[in-house]
Amino acid sequence: MKYKTIDFSKYSSIKIGQNVDILVVEEDDKIPDDHFIIGGANNLLVSPNPPPLMMLGKSFDYMSIKDNYLEVGCATKTGRLLSFVKKNNIANFEFIAKLPGTIGGMLAMNAGVKSYEIFNHVIEVEIDGKWVKKEDIAHGYRFAKLGGVATRVRLNLEQGYSQELKDELIKLRNNQPKEPSAGSAFKNPEGDYAGRLIEEVGLKGKRIGDMAFSQVHANFLVNLGNGTYEDAITLIELAKERVYKRFNLLLKEEIKII
């Protein structure tokens, strides 16, 4: 097994962190059970003292059309998959435009846009070397209980890529801030929006150090320059405290804190 040094202040989408040695797992390697798996670090907030980390290597970065399904390695970047489905006129994955990261990361949080989400099109997932049918994986809005490390996924194969749908879904995401962030900080509570709640308790634009809840979209925690883990955590806890006090509702993080 080999290690790779990653500077999370550059690698992560929120641009917070430090140099960390990451274990790189390839196809013939045994997957350790004492490491936390990372993908593209697009929804990660890495602490100054993270647990042992690992990532999938190049042997899990591929896409292949089989007889009646599409198989994708979980290290594959979403952008590569989007180009592939467009080129091969494959339907249902237009929504991954502007959803950065890896396919494994998408599976781990059942990523999506509005009602479009990855598990709608999953057939089965290889987890810790064994194929598990979608029906046997608990999943829902922005979560999936994989119970291990996802290495490959088999997806429904339908013809009919839609550029119109892609353009429509991209428009839905054009209200997102341009500064570094980890995407939505909190999951939307049922029947409401985390951004609305954060705004209602007066935290839209709230800044501590170089971290702030965006003026553009209150549910985005943005790095305005030299943001730190400590300042990010302070804002996250402040939002949870104020929303609970005002609405008796506990916000749940969508961002993964490690």
Query: For residues 157 and 68, is the Cβ–Cβ distance under 8 A?
Result: yes
* Residue labelled with tokens 């553009």: 216
Q: Is 142 a catalytic residue?
A: yes
* Residue labelled with tokens 């274990």: 23
Helix (H) or strand (E) holding 223: strand 220-223
Distance CA 234, CA 245 (A): 16
Distance CA 173, CA 99 (A): 9
Q: Is 184 a catalytic residue?
A: yes
Three-state DSSP state, 109: helix
Choose, from 80, 142, 173, 207, the residue flagged as catalytic. Answer: 142
Phi-psi region of 216 (alpha: psi -120 to 50; beta: other; left: phi over 0): alpha
Checking DSSP bridges between strand 130-133 and strand 122-127, what pairing results, if any? antiparallel
* Residue labelled with tokens 């804190």: 257
Choose, from 94, 184, 214, 253, the residue flagged as catalytic. Answer: 184
Choose, from 94, 126, 179, 254, the residue flagged as catalytic. Answer: 254
Q: Is 47 a catalytic residue?
A: no
Phi-psi region of 114 (alpha: psi -120 to 50; beta: other; left: phi over 0): left
State the distance between the two ends of the chain, measured CA to CA, in whole angstroms: 23
Three-state DSSP state, 80: helix
179: tokens are 């500064």
61: tokens are 């970065």
Which residues does the annotation mark as catalytic?
A: 142, 184, 254
